[in-house]
């Protein structure tokens, strides 16, 4: 209507940074001495504490849902990430291309495995299909398997838990056991002497010679957040799980193949996030591994990259928005670490609350004057503002 001023549209930017907080050793804090851009962001926003979640799905938190209320299997997320919608009573599996060594133990197969060779091997899964087992081919070592009219009353072993163990000691158990064991055994027989693996052995590389289903589960219903909130949000991350989850709630995910440059987020990927015209969520997840392996040089390089390619452009974008009458609201979300089996509180920096001039680092975690929120609440409040 002509007499009513149009509401200023809001552009929302959310940055997910697990692993930045250091509870155990303050000498390795990367937030206590922030770069110039981070210091300016702290001056523009409010620091709040994040209570840890106990269980559920982390990806749910990153779109503002209570993670403890959402339960989806790895298989359901993997199949969704591959863009497939099987019949309702299907059991979904992640299907990994792994390596069985000469002594029969399981190991990773991705070492110097080209996308072409990986796809050539994975496509052999089509020869193993039955009336009830259907393969879904993805990228490199990550694929999917669908069991039509199946049951999730079975136990499988994830690759990371199976590595270093004889492959025939960690096979599926329970409903569908004969079907799935035959699939695995047949894949080893089919792939072991494939010309790709003969060449890899000649080159001194491990064979990629077994297809491993794991992470089984049914797809559970989720709310369509795009319809509920009236906006399609785009995620920028390297994670297939998150891509699968975003699809299930009606959101989008950027091309994951452009996400990384080595172990660090690619500068162009960060730029695409900052310049995305709508609301967007960015996540980088290497800091936790860097801390675990004490790669302090990598952690410092990561923070320098974030300051240059993420925080500085965000400051500039907010200044430009102020000059042009646009509105940008943003949130930096740092979940607390897992230390000795216990989840610790985290921190968030949000423009939805007034600034209060306190630092954005580990020192405020014990400050009772800093307000606390459930892990997902600041993200929910921003996306629904």
Mention every residue, 6+ apart, whose C-beta is less than 8 A from residue 126.
135, 137
- Which residue do the tokens 């609440």 mark? 377
Six token digits for residue 104: 């029969």
Q: Tens-of-pLDDT digits for all 385 residues of the chain?
A: 344 344 667 899 999 999 999 877 667 788 888 888 999 999 889 999 999 998 889 999 999 999 999 999 999 999 999 999 999 999 999 999 999 999 999 999 988 899 999 999 999 999 999 999 999 999 888 899 999 999 999 999 999 999 999 999 999 999 999 999 999 999 999 999 999 999 999 999 999 999 999 999 999 999 999 999 999 999 999 999 999 999 999 999 999 999 999 999 999 999 999 999 899 999 999 999 999 899 999 999 999 999 999 999 999 998 888 788 888 999 999 999 877 777 889 999 999 887 777 889 998 998 998 999 999 999 999 999 8
Say what the pLDDT of residue 3 is.
Answer: 43
Q: Which two tokens stand for residue 330?
A: 């943003």
First to last CA, the chain: 23
How many other C-beta atoms lie within 10 A of the C-beta of residue 241?
20
The pLDDT of residue 356:
74
Tokens of residue 119, six digits: 């796809």
Helix 74-81 to helix 240-248 angle, to the nearest 10 degrees? Answer: 80
Domains of the chain: 10-72+221-383 (3.40.720.10), 76-217 (no CATH)
Alpha helices in 294-336 (DSSP H): 296-306, 312-324
pLDDT for res 207: 96
Cα–Cα distances (Å) from 141 to 23, 188, 205, 353, in that order, read: 35, 15, 15, 44
Classify the phi-psi angles of 349: left when phi > 0, otherwise alpha if psi is within -120 to 50, otherwise beta: beta
Q: How far apart are CA 161 and CA 171, in angstroms?
A: 12
Helices (H), 110-230: 115-122, 159-162, 177-191, 195-202, 225-229
pTM over 0.85: yes
- What are residue 269's phi and psi, to 5 degrees? -65, -40
Separation of alpha carbons 290 and 285, rounded Å: 10
- Helix residue ranges per DSSP H, 192-311: 195-202, 225-229, 240-248, 267-275, 287-292, 296-306
Quick one: pLDDT at residue 2? 41
């Amino acid at each position: 209507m002509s007499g009513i001023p149009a509401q200023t549209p809001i552009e929302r930017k959310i940055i997910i940074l697990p692993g930045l907080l250091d509870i155990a050793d303050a000498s390795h804090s990367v937030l206590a001495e922030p770069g110039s851009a981070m210091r300016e962001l702290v001056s523009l926003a409010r620091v709040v504490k994040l209570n840890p979640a106990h269980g559920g799905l982390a990806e749910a938190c990153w779109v503002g849902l209570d993670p403890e209320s959402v339960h989806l299997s790895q298989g359901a997320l993997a199949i969704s990430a591959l863009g497939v919608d099987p019949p309702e009573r299907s059991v979904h599996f992640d299907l990994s291309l792994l390596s069985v060594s000469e002594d029969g133990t399981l190991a990773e197969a991705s070492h110097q495995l080209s996308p072409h060779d990986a796809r050539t091997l994975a496509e052999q899964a089509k020869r193993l299909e039955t009336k009830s087992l259907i393969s879904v081919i993805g990228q490199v070592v990550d694929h999917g398997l669908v069991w039509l009219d199946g049951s999730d009353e079975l136990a499988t072993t994830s690759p990371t838990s199976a590595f270093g163990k004889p492959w025939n000691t960690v096979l599926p158990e329970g409903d569908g056991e004969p079907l799935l064991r035959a699939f695995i055994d047949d894949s080893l027989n089919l792939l072991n002497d494939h010309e790709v693996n003969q060449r890899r052995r000649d080159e001194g590389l491990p064979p990629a010679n077994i297809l491993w289903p794991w992470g089984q589960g049914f797809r559970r219903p989720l709310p369509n957040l795009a319809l509920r909130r009236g906006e399609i949000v785009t995620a920028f991350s390297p994670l297939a799980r998150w891509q699968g989850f975003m699809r299930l709630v009606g959101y989008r995910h950027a091309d994951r193949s452009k996400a990384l440059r080595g172990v660090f987020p690619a500068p162009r990927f960060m730029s695409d996030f900052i310049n995305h015209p709508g609301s967007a969520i960015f996540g980088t997840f290497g800091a936790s591994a860097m801390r675990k392996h004490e790669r302090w040089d990598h952690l410092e390089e990561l923070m320098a990259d974030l300051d240059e390619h993420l925080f500085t452009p965000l400051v500039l974008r907010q200044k430009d928005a102020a000059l042009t009458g646009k509105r940008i609201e943003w949130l930096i979300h740092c979940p607390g670490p897992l230390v000795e089996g216990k989840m610790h509180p985290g921190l968030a920096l949000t423009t939805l609350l007034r600034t209060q001039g306190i630092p954005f680092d580990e020192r405020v975690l014990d400050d009772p004057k800093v307000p606390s929120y459930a892990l997902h609440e600041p993200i929910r409040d921003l996306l629904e503002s």
